[in-house]
Amino acid sequence: MIHKEAHLSDSLFTPEISQRPTRDGYGEGIVLAGRANPRVVALTADLSESTRSNFFEKEFPDRFFELGVAEQNMATVAAGLAVSGKIPFIASYATFSPGRNWEQIRTTISYNDANVKIAGHHAGISVGPDGATHQAIEDIATMRVMANMRVIVPCDAIEARKATVAAARIVGPVYLRFGRGKTPVFTTEKTPFVPGIAQILWQGKKPQVVIIGCGPLLHNALLAAKELQKQKLEVVVLNMHTIKPLDEKTLLAVVAKCGAVVTIEEHQVMGGLGGAVAEVLAKKLPTPMEFIGMQNTFGESGTPAQLMEKYGMDVSAIIAAVRRAAERRISIRG
């Protein structure tokens, strides 16, 4: 059942649940961060509106910078601002930033330990009709692998706002990942959000499998959990919004109780959330795992719902993965 302390939305399982893109949360978050701290500045590369940087531009025109279509320049200018005391938020599509400007981020932000917040928008295949060139499915891996970098993937617009505000308070580089389309707003103002602390969303009785996810896909995980409960298969759903630093303590405690894991992410199954979880478990608590995500392919054009189905991230795919994980668990634990 729904974990009480998560304070999820009452309309969680109803069609009336409100739908907003996580990028809206980014726009609201940078405005709040800007009000709280005059050192916060925002930059964009000819994508002011679609990254919601325009929210900040409107309120703080003097602290907003339009760099044109130049992501490499945006990252390095931000590094310069950061080493001069500013707290820059840079925003573009994730395929371009942190995709195209990866080396600039590595050298001038990460290695410099510059206090820059990188907002990667239009991440995941749910970008839809724009097609594979615009669907970032490698960004968690390429950011996670950098020393000094933190990686946060908010699950809805509210958590996105909280994560953006929190990122401004963290000293050092942070990567924040946002989606394009409207997705269910299933957390509430009361839902706890602390970077680096995973949150249990659903707690089954005597659970056999834990679904560990990040981003809007967690809503599908909750739908799957509810359906599985009807089918007498109990699970835990864990919101691992911070992929780096990973909350090992919560992870190990939950996995020890469940004995099997399904990870879900709108990302390649290599190197992302699933990879991060597997690294910890392989070392400290080897456990059967199933990985939901892009299986070493690119996305393509289509509606988000069609793509979720085709690439195996919809509710039925999650249920099937949980069943596979549960079976593998039995063969080990009995």
Partner 1 sequence: MLTTTKIKQMELEANAIRANIIETLVEAGSGHSAGPLGMADIFTAFYFHILAHKPKQPTWADRDRLILSNGHICPVQYVTLAHAGYFPVQELLTLRKLNSRLQGHPHRGSLPGIETTSGPLGSGLSQAIGVALAARMDKKTYRTYALLSDGEHNEGNIWEAVMLAGKLKLHNLTAVIDRNNIQIDGYTEDIMPLEPLREKYEAFNWHVLEVNGHDIPAFVAAVNEAKAIYEKPTVIIAHTIPGKGVDYMENDYKWHGNPPGIMDMPGEPPKKEQERDALRSLRTLGGSIECHHLE
Residues assigned a catalytic role: 71
* Torsional sign, CA 248, 9, 187, 215: positive
Residues 270 to 309: which contact ligand TPP by CB under 6 A? Answer: none
- Near ligand TPP by CB under 6 A: residue from 56, 64, 96, 186: 96
By CB under 8 A, residue 122 contacts partner 1: no
Query: Do 138 and 268 contact (CB within 8 A), yes or no?
Result: yes
Partner from partner 1, ligand TPP, none binding residue 158, C-beta < 5-8 Å depending on class: none
- Regarding 103 and contact with ligand TPP (CB under 6 A), the answer is no
Closest approach, Cβ 301 to partner 1, in A, equals 5
Retrieve residue 32's tokens.
């709040």
- CA–CA gap between residue 270 and residue 209 (Å, rounded): 21
From 10-18, 63-71, 183-191, 265-273, give the range in contact with partner 1 by CB under 8 A. Answer: 63-71
Q: What is the DSSP string of 129-171?
A: TT-GGG-B-SHHHHHHTSTT-EEE--SSHHHHHHHHHHHHHSS
113 binds ligand TPP (CB under 6 A): no
* CB-nearer residue toward partner 1: 53 or 187: 53
Q: Give the nearer residue to partner 1 in terms of CB position, either 150 or 180.
A: 180
Sheet of 174-177, strands arranged across:
64-66, 40-44, 87-93, 117-121, 174-177, 150-152, 242-244
Specify the pairing of strand 87-93 against strand 19-20.
unpaired
Subset of residues 97 to 116 that bind partner 1, contact rule: CB under 8 A? 99-100
Which residues from 54-73 bind ligand TPP, rule CB under 6 A?
69, 71
Q: How far is the CB of 101 from ligand TPP (least distance, A)?
A: 9
Query: Which run of H or E residues covers position 202?
Result: strand 199-203
Tell the smallest beta-carbon distance from residue 181 to ligand TPP (Å): 17
10 binds, among partner 1, ligand TPP, none (CB under 5 to 8 A by kind): none
> Under rule CB under 6 A, which residues in 185-224 are in contact with ligand TPP?
none
Of these partners, partner 1, ligand TPP, none, which one is at the site of residue 48 (CB under 5 to 8 Å by kind)? partner 1
CA nearest neighbour of 109 among 138, 150, 69: 150
Neighbours of 155 (CB within 10 A): 30
- In one-letter notation, the amino acid at residue 260 is A
Judged by the rule CB under 6 A, the positions of this chain that interact with ligand TPP are: 46-47, 69, 71, 96, 100
